[in-house]
Amino acid sequence: MKPRYLKIQAFGPFAQTETIDFSRLGHNPLFLINGTTGSGKSTLLDAMTFALYGDTTGKERDASDMRCQYAAADLPTEVEFSFELGNTHYRVMRKPVQRRPKSRGEGFTEQAAEGFLYATDASGQTRLLVDKKVKELTERVVALIGLDSEQFRQVMVLPQGLFRKLLLAESKDREPILSKLFQTHLYKQLEDSIKAQAAQVRQQKDAQRQQLMGILQTVDCRDKEELVQQSQQIEQAIVTFQPEYDQAAQALKHHEQALEAAQALGKRFAQRDELVAQYQQHLQGEPGIAQLRRQSRQAQAVEKAYPFYSALQQVKQALNDSQLKMSQDDQALAQAQADLVTANTALRQAETAYQARDGLTQQLHQLEQLRPKITQLDEATAQLTQLERQAQQERQARDQSKNQLEALLERQQMLEKRITQLNQSLPDQVALTQQHHNLQALMTQYQAWSKLTQKRQQRVADSTDKQQLLNDAKAALQQAQHRLNQLEYAWHLGQAAILAQTLQPQQACPVCGSVTHPQPAQWQQDITPVEQADLTQAKDQLSRALQACSAAEIALTDCQTAITALDEQLAELLALSPQLPSLDNAQLIAQQQQLTQALEDAETLQQHLHEFKQQLPTLVAQVQPAQRAVDSANQAWHQTQTELALAQQSLTSLQQQIPDDYRAPGLLTAQIAQLHQQREQLQQDLNNAQTQQAQQQKTVTMLTQRLASQHAHQQTLVTQHQQAQADWLAAVAASEFSDEAELLAARVAESTYQAWLAEIHRFEQAEAKYCGGIEQLNLELAGMSVPDLNQLTEQLAHQQQIFNQHKKQWDDLQLNQAKLHSAQQQLQRLEQKSQALEAEYQVIGTLSEVLSGDNQAKISLQRFVLGVLLDDVLATATLRLRAMTKGRYELLRKDARNKGTKASGLDLEVFDSYTGQSRPVATLSGGESFLAALALALALSDVVQAYAGGIKLDTLFIDEGFGSLDPDSLELAIDTLKSLQMSGRTIGIISHVQELKEQMALRIDVVASAQGSQIKLVGL
């Protein structure tokens, strides 16, 4: 991955938009990122890490806290980072969660985090890969680069305080980093796959073993031989017992058949007795059935005569309806005759009134002759009215023009006076603006000072805790050293005592060479014997204590470095504003509100003055047209007055020629219209009277004819009623009833009649069924007697008891035989499967133990492969480390296996040519560990690309660490980085060391100010 450009906006200390175009630095540049403490040098690495992964390099600051306090409220925080992988250019843009001003109204709203990823191929075509989804963006970046955030910080971006993490990591922590870099996950997958197969085979073997024991336990056998012996014994017992069992079963069957036959005969006798009892109970319902037969016969007779009754009722109803209709028509005819008399009277009155129509026609002719003069009078009146209205309007226009002219003159005087007043009272707006800007900068500095003070207090508290941890670690180190010294002293004493026991007179001592031994060493009873394992354990404990002490010292140094950095930032703020500690936030806010209000008031006054000055020329230009409008309105009004006098004379002349009753406008026309309406009304009344008289005459004729027809129909209905009455009385006389009331009372519903018939039918069927069944059973049981079931039951129970005893014994034999036979079959199948599983486990189990690290070396396949690769990395790193330490140090992979189950194979140690011994890398000093970590990171880049593992590490950013080097080591480190530059690497160094600034002309300077930091490219 090689960076192309980085754009930062309102991020960290950068208040505006700052852009770094890495292509301007040249091809594979070696450059310095320089600036004062707190200016924002490390923020550039934070910005790149945030753009790619959404977090910062040190992970001490949340991404949402990276918004610049100096930035304008409407300028959003965002970072855009472009880089190239192969022939493809990628562009990442990410925004954190932040507050922005509302688009409507006042206040702020929270904007969610967003992320975008674009890819541009060699042809120049750009595609959007991720749209807004920050989680998906991070996943895509990890897939592209091949490193997650933690691994990226350890091999490509080395931030403050994290140089030594990769160098000092344990095997288990270093393994995932190297696996990701060298793409050795296939070996891990192979380990897991083989291990899972072995576990599965082992589980199957255990399951088969448990199944075998379970099968033998079910048949109470200890082994397979006992199972075979029991099976043979059971088979012999079955052959011996079978004849006796068959004889008992045959006897039981004979007794069961005898009892079944007797029970069947007893049931037939019981059935006959039950049928006889049921038949006797059935005969008790005979009187009721006789009553139903009688009622049914009467109901049938009623139904024969009832049609005559229905016909009589229908004729009666028709006769009553006819009489009612005739009465209604008589009333309607009388009303129609009265209406006809009224219509004849109205017709005569209309004919008399119609005779006055001729007089109305003559009066209309006379009025029509006056119509032209009336028209002239109306026109003269309208002209006079129009001239009066015009004169009124022109008078109003003249008055309005005068008022407008006076208003313009008054407005002009008022504006001139107001402009003079505003010029005298307008405050110095430039001074207010400067005061407000200064106060805003001071408030920003105060907020930054407050946050830095809080962070420093927290760091001081952490420093106290870490100092205590360091003291404890030093005490533990001293204790471990003291214990090792005691153990070594005791061990040497013990060795001397053992050696003294082997000394012989006149023989040379293997230590001093003397042949005399005046005071040979003696075993001391108060000293506990010490073994070599105790010494080894004490040395390991001392090594761990040394590592813990070094780690605590590094942690304390990091914390103190952070406090120093915070002190420098606080000093810079106090240098800009010494009064910060004495300020009060509430007073600053009140001053800001006062200045803001004063600026708003000054702006309002300035705006009013500008508006007044713009309005004054316009008013001056409007005065002359207003004066001309007044003169024109006066002239028009005088001319209209002359025309009004002439129109009045013409109107008076016309009024003298027309009668007074018709002078008013519209009276003549209204009178003519009224006469026309009267004539038409007379005609209409005559027509209506004639129509009404004809309709009434037609109604009288129609009703008279209908009454005659109804009289004839009435006579026919009377005849029919008489005949129906005679037929009904004859039917009653022919029935068995005494009168018609008794006959009608005997009538029942059809459903009741059918229910009677059904009840009678069921009774007759049941009687036939009982008689037939009794007769059949009598024939069947003739000559037979009732059997003794109790005796037969006792005989069967005795035989059943005998058979049950034989049956139980027989079933036990059969069950045992089946269980034994099934167990033999299951054991045979399990033995076949066990042989196959054992053969498979001999291969897969052994392979799993070797691959997963369950071996003497405690090294898995992946860790073995990574160990080989790490050897290559360490060989390359040693070349650079030797050059940077003048041949003193070499990086080695620790060969000794760790104690217990702790993973090993990837642990590092350093060989010191000064002592000729190897020791843990944690024992290196701060500057030495920086050089070792730098050499290791550079070697990783070389070896990973050499193995073409899919990850291209051609960029390295180093944040601080050079300050811990002496001048010679610094020069050697710079020479090493320059040699990397020549091999095609892009290397950026973040430092404020003056020697670096002097040696590296190509720089990115980060310049801090009270309004935020800015970026400048130097040496292009």
Distance CA 478, CA 545 (A): 9
Amino acid letter, 570: L
Where does the pLDDT of residue 303 fall: very low under 50, low under 70, confident under 90, or very high at 90 and above? confident
Give per-residue pLDDT as tens, 559-592: 887 888 788 778 777 777 788 888 888 888 888 8
Distances (CA, A) of 356 to 349, 359, 368, 623, 683: 12, 6, 19, 75, 11
Residue 999 vs residue 314, higher pLDDT:
314
H/E stretch holding 546: helix 532-576
Stretch 222-230: mean pLDDT, rounded? 80
Stretch 296-305: mean pLDDT, rounded? 76
* 566 within 8 A of 494, measured Cβ to Cβ: no
Q: What are phi and psi of 192, to 5 degrees?
A: -65, -40
Percent of the chain with pLDDT over 70: 87
Give per-residue pLDDT as tens, 127-179: 999 998 999 999 999 888 877 787 676 667 665 444 466 677 777 777 777 77
Quick check: 965 pLDDT over 70? no
Q: What single-letter DSSP state applies at residue 113? A: P
Q: What are phi and psi of 11, to 5 degrees?
A: -125, 130
Where does the pLDDT of residue 528 fall: very low under 50, low under 70, confident under 90, or very high at 90 and above? low
Where does the pLDDT of residue 514 fall: very low under 50, low under 70, confident under 90, or very high at 90 and above? low
Amino acid letter, 278: Q
Cβ count within 10 A of residue 406: 12
CA dihedral 230, 236, 241, 246 (to 10 degrees): 110
* 9 within 8 A of 67, measured Cβ to Cβ: no
Distance CA 205, CA 842 (A): 12
Specify the pLDDT at position 162.
46
Structure tokens at 833: 């499967």
Distances (CA, A) of 489 to 476, 484, 495, 528, 875: 20, 8, 10, 11, 39
Give per-residue pLDDT as tens, 856-910: 666 777 778 888 888 888 888 898 888 888 888 999 988 755 554 455 677 889 9
- Those residues whose C-beta lies under 8 Å from the C-beta of residue 878, and which sit 6 or more positions away, are 889, 890, 891, 935
Q: Which domains does the chain have, with CATH numbers?
A: 2-146+955-1018 (3.40.50.300), 184-301+808-852 (no CATH), 303-373+662-764 (1.10.287.1700), 437-506+521-583 (1.10.287)
Q: What is residue 100's three-state secondary structure?
A: strand
- Those residues whose C-beta lies under 8 Å from the C-beta of residue 630, and which sit 6 or more positions away, are 398, 401, 402, 405
Quick check: 115 pLDDT over 80? yes
Amino acid letter, 282: H
Q: Characterize the bridge pairing of strands 1003-1007 and 30-35.
A: parallel
Where does the pLDDT of residue 5 fall: very low under 50, low under 70, confident under 90, or very high at 90 and above? very high
Specify the pLDDT at position 555.
80
Give per-residue pLDDT as tens, 753-770: 788 888 888 887 888 888
Stretch 721-735: mean pLDDT, rounded? 80
Distance CA 392, CA 890 (A): 117
The DSSP secondary structure of 708-746, one letter per residue, reads HHHHHHHHHHHHHHHHHHHHHHHHHHHSSSSSHHHHHHT
Q: What single-letter DSSP state applies at residue 112? A: P
* 20 within 8 A of 5, measured Cβ to Cβ: yes
The pTM (predicted TM-score) of the whole model is 0.40
Q: Exposed, middle or buried, 425 (CB in 10 Å: 0-12/13-18/19+)?
A: exposed
The mean of the pLDDT values for the chain is 79
- Those residues whose C-beta lies under 8 Å from the C-beta of residue 364, and which sit 6 or more positions away, are 672, 675, 676, 679
Distances (CA, A) of 843 to 153, 530, 836, 953: 43, 44, 11, 41
Q: Which residues pair with 1004 in a beta bridge?
A: 33, 1017
Distance CA 309, CA 980 (A): 133
Q: Exposed, middle or buried, 869 (CB in 10 Å: 0-12/13-18/19+)?
A: buried
Specify the pLDDT at position 945.
61
Give per-residue pLDDT as tens, 973-989: 777 777 766 766 788 88
Give per-residue pLDDT as tens, 630-642: 788 888 778 887 8
Pick the range with the lowest mean pLDDT from 119-128, 511-520, 694-703, 931-940: 511-520
Distance CA 340, CA 689 (A): 11
Per the rule left: phi > 0, alpha: psi between -120 and 50, beta: everything else, 666 is left
Q: Exposed, middle or buried, 983 (CB in 10 Å: 0-12/13-18/19+)?
A: exposed
Q: What single-letter DSSP state applies at residue 36? A: -
Q: What is residue 890's three-state secondary structure?
A: strand
Q: Exposed, middle or buried, 119 (CB in 10 Å: 0-12/13-18/19+)?
A: middle
Distance CA 345, CA 696 (A): 12
Distance CA 768, CA 766 (A): 5
Pick the range with the lowest mean pLDDT from 349-358, 639-648, 891-900: 891-900
Distances (CA, A) of 391 to 379, 384, 408, 646, 723: 18, 10, 26, 14, 105
Give per-residue pLDDT as tens, 7-61: 999 998 898 999 999 888 888 788 888 888 778 888 888 899 899 998 876 555 6
The CB-based long-range contact list for 481-487 (8 Å cut-off, 24+ gap) reads 481/542, 481/545, 483/538, 483/541, 484/535, 484/538, 484/539, 484/541, 484/542, 487/530, 487/534, 487/535, 487/538
Distance CA 834, CA 196 (A): 19
Distances (CA, A) of 82 to 7, 95, 985, 1013: 9, 15, 17, 22
Q: Exposed, middle or buried, 279 (CB in 10 Å: 0-12/13-18/19+)?
A: middle
Specify the pLDDT at position 161.
47
Pick the range with the lowest mean pLDDT from 1-10, 91-100, 433-442: 433-442
Three-state SS for 986-1017 is EEEEECCCHHHHHHCCCEEEEECCCCCCEEEE
Stretch 616-645: mean pLDDT, rounded? 80
